[in-house]
Amino acid sequence: GQQLNQSPQSMFIQEGEDVSMNCTSSSIFNTWLWYKQDPGEGPVLLIALYKAGELTSNGRLTAQFGITRKDSFLNISASIPSDVGIYFCAGQRETSGSRLTFGEGTQLTVNP
Amino acid sequence: ETGVTQTPRHLVMGMTNKKSLKCEQHLGHNAMYWYKQSAKKPLELMFVYSLEERVENNSVPSRFSPECPNSSHLFLHLHTLQPEDSALYLCASSPQKTDTQYFGPGTRLTVL
């Protein structure tokens, strides 16, 4: 099936540092979504992107929908300990109906 | 805070048991989903319901049986499971089938 390549797989950073992660695909998506999952919980939607080139912010988080529609990145500025968790990207195509294709996740650890 | 709730949050069952997972959404959405999340693997879509009708079944073994009695409730009936079925089972909902999905906290299932 279709896959998203999400990188890095894990990150260990110091509090206050900025973080960047991205997802790439060989196929075009019409929607890109970024979710965060805390241990023992379900994914929580952070940012949704619906248009190529779109740059959207949610507090310290910024995400962009790549111009080619085959990639997206998520930046977190001035990280804090509660940013710890797994971040997932997900892509959706009009032709696939409701089906989301998920990346494998980026495990973020923030050291105080 | 989430508008999608799941019960139980944790379940341990033997291979001969029958159990059910419950999902309820309080968002007025028309589509509901079951996902399986195994360690170090992307989320796997299992079933999609739209307006109480099953619209996708992604080659899921028959030991998993979904039920959607109304647009607010979704069940996953489990029977004769295998240890490899141990995973986090996530429910999600969206306004319509192609809209952004919102996840519940999941049920951590362990099959002995």
Q: In Å, how far is A10's CA from the nearest CA of chain B?
A: 12
pLDDT digits (tens, 9 = 90+) for A46-104: 999 999 999 999 999 999 999 999 999 999 999 999 999 999 999 988 776 668 899 99
Averaged over A9-35, what is the pLDDT?
95
What is the Cα–Cα distance from B98 to A97, expressed in whole angstroms? 5
* Percent of chain B whose pLDDT exceeds 70: 98
Residues of B in Cβ contact (< 8 Å) with A92: 98
Residue B47, Cβ density class (10 Å: 0-12 exposed, 13-18 middle, ≥19 buried):
buried
Of A104, A46, A45, A87, which Cα lies nearest the Cα of B44?
A104
According to the model, what pLDDT value does residue B99 have? 84
Averaged over A1-7, what is the pLDDT?
79
Number of inter-chain CB pairs under 8 A, A vs B? 64
Q: What is the pLDDT along chain B (112 residues), one digit of tens a residue?
A: 469 999 999 999 999 889 999 999 999 999 999 999 998 788 899 999 998 888 888 889 999 999 999 999 999 999 999 999 999 999 999 998 878 899 999 999 999 9
